[in-house]
Amino acid sequence: MKSLYMKQNQNIWYLFVSILICFFLYCCKSKDYITYYHKINEIDSIYRIAKQQEKATHLYRKLFRKYRPLNQERTEEYETYIRISDKLGKNFGGKRSLYRLVPLIAPYWRYKKADSKFISLYKKYGIDSLSIEQKVAEWEKKLDKKLIDSFVVAIARDKYGGRLNDSDRVENDLKNAELLKWTFEHYGYPSMQKIGLYHKDTFIPMGVIILHMADYDQHHPYFKAKILEYVKSGECPPRDYAAMVDRNNLHHKIPYTYGVYQGYRNITDSAKVNRNRKSIGLPSLNYRNKLAKDLSDSLKTK
């Protein structure tokens, strides 16, 4: 009887541990950010086109409970959520959410700190510019110094001689290809949350280095497959990936897959291009143009 009781307890314990492990694996499972991008495009349209701000805040809040927000360049979704929530008097999380936004804008801080509306929003909740500056400094300390040094060298190689000398350009690009492969293997994708966007006065646009990987057919298939993984994990912006693929298409004189570049001379089927764009989380061509125009207009008013 005692042994039966012990066996039952043991079975219950094994069941409990199994459930706990499954729950842990479920929680730790990386989310597919393609779905996130789709949702952001939908919500942005509700906010930007339909002008339904209250509905947009509700949907943003629901999405950010499920996904880590990204605050992409043109939609600035997390900042937009905070701004319109504040405007409508909705609870967006106050200081906690404002501090959560800081690492997302930190790569652009040298420009963002001149945004008076942004600074005023923080001051409204008792956070002055010095406090934001300190949080940005804390973020910078967490960046990977080894990776930063490597990609400062990589961007110098990429720009060497204005890329005018063929042999130098090829040699440097191939060195950068090996660096990228090594980085992917040991660190994952070198996103702005790992290396930032600037090191002192050196601009480190990862999208440029990736773009030039399209010039080498011996490496392009690897990068096309591998970087797509990082698009899905939310680490690589879909546009950077799409630009690389379209550039390779251009080399082979075939129609664009994603239609990243302005103009439609190399787009033969816009419906197909829009389907391709959607498959990696990019908005449609028309909506892309709307976002670009709104961004241009906003810069004119600053």
> Three-state SS string across 238-278, please?
HHHHHHHHHHHHHHCCCCCCCCCCCCCCCCCCHHHHHHHHH
**Whole-number mean pLDDT of the chain?**
90
Read off the pLDDT band of 268 (50, 70, 90).
confident
For the cut 90, the answer to whether the pLDDT of residue 297 exceeds it is no
Read off the pLDDT band of 300 (50, 70, 90).
low
For the cut 80, the answer to whether the pLDDT of residue 231 exceeds it is yes
For the cut 50, the answer to whether the pLDDT of residue 25 exceeds it is no
Helix spans in 106-213 (H): 109-112, 116-124, 129-141, 145-159, 166-186, 192-195, 206-211
- What is the model's pLDDT at position 4? 46
Read off the pLDDT band of 293 (50, 70, 90).
confident
Give the Å distances, CA to CA, from 189 to 147, 234, 243, 244: 11, 10, 17, 15
User: How does DSSP classify residue 50?
Assistant: S
Share of the chain above pLDDT 90, in %: 82
For the segment 45-70, what is each residue's pLDDT rounded down to a tens digit?
999 999 999 999 999 999 999 999 99
Q: Which two tokens stand for residue 250?
A: 């251009």
Rounded to an integer, the average pLDDT of 172-190 is 98
Query: Which distant-in-sequence residues (6+ apart) come within 8 Å of 150 by Cβ?
Result: 179, 183
More confident call, 263 vs 267: 267
In the chain, what are the domain boundaries? Answer: 31-92, 93-142, 145-254
For the cut 50, the answer to whether the pLDDT of residue 27 exceeds it is no
For the cut 50, the answer to whether the pLDDT of residue 163 exceeds it is yes
Share of the chain above pLDDT 70, in %: 88
For the cut 90, the answer to whether the pLDDT of residue 296 exceeds it is no
